[in-house]
Amino acid sequence: MSGEISRLACLALYKNLQFTAKSISNYSYRQFFVRRIRDHFRANIHESDLNKRQALFRKGEAALEVLKRQKVLCDLYPSGKLVIEEHNKNFKLMISECGHMLCQVCVDVLFVRHSAVCPQCGQLLKRSSFWEMIYDDPLVEKEIFHRKRLQRIYNLKEDDFPDLRSYNDYLEQFEEIVFNMVFDRNLEQTKQMVADFAKANEDLIAKNRNRLSKDQEWVQRAIDDQEKMRSRLLEYKQQEQQEAGMNSAAKRADAREILNELMNSDTPAEMIIMNKKHQQMVEDAQLAKANQAGVVESKPFMFQSQEKSGAYSALNIDGVRYDYIAETLVPNIDVDFANNDQLQKRKFYLNARMPSPDKLAGGFSVMLPLGRAVQEAFCDVLFNCDA
C-alpha cells in the first residue's frame, strides 16, 4: 500500500474487527479481542507517520484474518456459557470515580468497611463513590462524573465576564480540566487549579448555584411549553371521550323511549318515528346555534391562549437584529445600445448567425433584431424598466 490511508478505510477496518470479535462464541476470547482492538486503535489514533500508519493498517488486516479463523474454531468446538453470561437480573456492573469497573458483589465484599483501595489502581475509594454503569464505555461514565462534579464549581454565566472573549476562555479552561481529570493528566496541578478557582470566585459560585443560564432558561421554557401542550391535548381528548359517552347514552335513552312509546301507545308507528325525527332535527338546530355562539365567544380566549403559548418560541433568538439595506447598482458600461455601428464595433454580434441574402426581404436589416435582443439582455442593468 503506497498511498495515504483514508479515515473511512480505518473506520471500516475498526468496525470489521469489532464485528468479527463480537461474533466469537467464547466469552473470554470475545471480551479480550474487543478490549484489545479498542485499546490499540485509541493508542494509535494520533499517529502521523505515513509508514507507521501503513504498517498498522496491514497489521489490522492480518488480525482480521486471525479473528475470522478463531471464530470458525470456536464455532466448531463450542463451549458452555460462563456464569457471567447467564441471564441474571441481579448482576450489575459498578464503576467508581477512578474509572475501573467491579461487579456489585465484589464491591460489597471489598468495601465491607465502607472504604478500601481500588484493586486495579490502588486509589483509596469509598463505597458511596460507586454507581451503576449506564454506558458500555467506562471513559464516558468517568467523564460524566467529573463533568457533573466540576459544574458545581464552574457555574459562572456569560454575564459574569466583561466580554465574550473572557467567557470563551473560561469555557475552554473548563474543558481542559475535564480532559485532564478523565485521562489522569497533571492531576495535582489540575486539582490545585480547581481549588484556587473555587476560592477566588466563592461569592459568584454561591450566587449562581440556583441560577440558570440563557440556554438552560430556553430549554426550561421549551419543556414548559411542551407540558402545557400535552395537558391541553389531554383535556381535549378527555372532553371528546365524555361527549362521545354522553351522546351514546342519549342515543340509548332515545331508542328506549321510542320502544316504550311503540309498545304502550296507540299512535301509528310511522307517526311516532316521524315526530321523533322532527324533535331530533329541532334539537340539532338549537345545539348548532349554541355551539356557534360558544365558538364566537371563545375566540378571544383562544387567541389569548395562543399568544401566551407562543410567547416562547422554539428557536433560541439571540444577537443583534439584522436590518436589510438595499444597494444601488451603478453599471460600468459606456455603450450606446441604440447605435448599431458601436455594437458591431464592440463585437456584440460576433457569434450571431447572419442570414443568407436570399432570406432577406426588402428594407430588412439583421441589425434590428440583434440590437433589440442586446437591449433586452442588458435592460435590467442599464434601464429602469418600472419607470
* pLDDT tens digit sequence for 136-150: 788 888 888 888 888
The listed range with the strongest mean pLDDT (60-69, 109-118, 181-190, 257-266) is: 60-69
Looking at the predicted structure, is the pLDDT value of residue 26 above 70?
A: yes
Q: Is the pLDDT of residue 387 over 50?
A: no
Query: pLDDT > 90: what percent of the chain?
Result: 7
* pLDDT exceeds 60 at position 296: no
Contact indicator for 111, 126 with CB cutoff of 8 Å: yes
Segment holding 186, helix H or strand E = none
Please say if the pLDDT value at position 185 is more than 60.
yes
What is the C-alpha to C-alpha distance for residues 381 and 26, in angstroms, rounded to an integer? 77
The Cα 350–Cα 217 span in angstroms is 66
Average pLDDT rounded to a whole number, residues 369-377: 77
What secondary structure does DSSP assign to 343-371, as a single string? Answer: HHHTTTTTTSPPPPGGGPPTT--THHHHH
- Cβ-Cβ contacts under 8 Å for 208 (sequence gap 6 or more): 155, 156, 157, 160
**Among 246, 278, 275, 272, which Cα is nearest to 260's?**
272
Angle, CA of 145, 43 and 40, to the nearest 5°: 105
CA atoms within 13 A on the CB side of 93: 13
- Tell me, what's the pLDDT at 253? 78
pLDDT at 62: 92
Q: How far is CA 32 from CA 18, 87, 145, 173, in A?
A: 11, 21, 26, 36
Q: Which of 37-41, 58-62, 316-320 has the lowest mean pLDDT?
A: 316-320
Quote the pLDDT of residue 308. Answer: 46
Range ranked top by mean pLDDT from 4-8, 9-13, 240-244, 335-339: 9-13
Cell of 186: 497533571
At residue 65, the pLDDT reads: 92
Q: Does position 14 have pLDDT exceeding 50, yes or no?
A: yes
Mean pLDDT in residue range 223-241: 88
Of the candidates 10, 25, 9, 41, the residue with the CA atom closest to the CA atom of residue 137 = 41
Q: Check pLDDT > 50 for residue 311.
A: no
Mean pLDDT of all residues in the chain? 79
- 222, three cell numbers: 421549551
pLDDT value of residue 301: 42
pLDDT-based confidence at 319, cuts 50/70/90?
low
d(CA 384, CA 103): 81
The better pLDDT of the pair 351, 191 is held by: 191
The model's pLDDT over 43-77, given as tens digits with 9 standing for 90+, comes to 888 888 888 888 999 999 999 999 999 889 888 88
Helices 7-22 and 27-43, packing angle to 10 deg: 160
If residue 316 lies in a helix (H) or strand (E), which one and from where to where?
none
Residue 298 has pLDDT above 50, yes or no: no
Say which residues have a Cβ less than 8 Å from residue 147's Cβ, sequence separation at least 6. Answer: 178
Look-up: residue for cell 454565566?
157
Most confident of 7-21, 84-98, 358-372: 7-21
Contacts of 262 (CB under 8 A, 6+ apart): 269, 272
DSSP letters, 139-151, are: HHHHHHHHHHHHH
Is the model's pLDDT at 382 over the cut of 60? no
Non-local CB neighbours of 38 within 8 Å, separated by 6+ positions: 18
In angstroms, how far is CA 74 from the centroid of its own chain? Answer: 41
151: its cell numbers: 459544574
Q: What is the mean pLDDT of residues 98-118?
A: 83
- Rounded Cα gap, residues 95 and 90, in angstroms: 16
Compute the distance between CA of residue 299 and CA of residue 316 in angstroms, rounded to an integer.
29
The Cα–Cα gap between 166 and 169 comes to: 5
